[in-house]
Amino acid sequence: MAERAQERDRERDRERGERERTLPRIRLDLPRERRTRLLPEYDPEAFGRLSERIARFLGTGRFLVWMTLTVVVWIGWNVFAPAPLKFDEYPFIFLTLALSLQASYAAPLILLAQNRQDDRDRVNLEQDRKQNERSIADTEYLTREIAALRMGLGEVATRDWMRSELQDLLKDLEQRDGDRRDDRRDLFPDGGTHGSDVPDR
């Protein structure tokens, strides 16, 4: 029985070894090998920057001047040059084809540049919105703090208020003292004091 169990274990080990040999081991700690692609690879960011440069150039007066000069020279050459030197005669089909090709490439490049600008504007708008939210939150916090300080200061005795209260108390004491003297004079016209003015307890 023990021999059969050992035989089974050996058989399992052999099968496991064969499976490991046939299947490549996938390691997670190593980067995957790059697959070969049929299409050439390019950097989308560099292509986007190039398209923006081309779109900026297409939107300048310099491009219009160069395009106009090219078309005028092309037409002038094919109208006034000797017959063997003309390469695009009157209907100027080759010129039309070249201008169509230029337009067919310019339109997607301009759209790509606009999309990149839209993405940048969207990111800037999002950052501005977050900044505005932070500013509003800071303003609300400061408003609450100022309101709390005002409420707290409304209950705090200031130096001027204490001074005015003490002056009022001093006036009241002086007035009471003056009233007592007047009362004593009325009771004792000779100015002497008979007994104590402190009441018995």
SS (H, E, C) 121-149: HHHHHHHHHHHHHHHHHHHHHHHHHHHHH
DSSP state of 127: H
Between 25 and 134, the more confident residue is: 134
- Greater pLDDT, 169 or 35: 169
The pair of three-digit structure tokens given for residue 35, joined into one six-digit string: 């697959």
Summarised one tens digit per residue, pLDDT across range 52-98 is 999 899 889 999 999 999 999 999 999 999 989 999 988 899 999 99
Report the distance separating Cα 70 and Cα 79, nearest Å: 14
Tell whether pTM > 0.75: no
Nearest-angstrom CA–CA distance, 103 and 110: 10
> What does the pLDDT look like over 44-53, one tens digit per residue?
888 888 889 9
pLDDT in tens, 175-195: 888 877 776 776 656 655 555
Q: What are phi and psi of 37, to 5 degrees?
A: -110, 150
Q: Work out the end-to-end distance of the chain between its first and last CA atoms, rounded to an integer number of angstroms.
A: 117
Residue 201 pLDDT: 47
Indicate the SS3 state at residue 54. Answer: helix
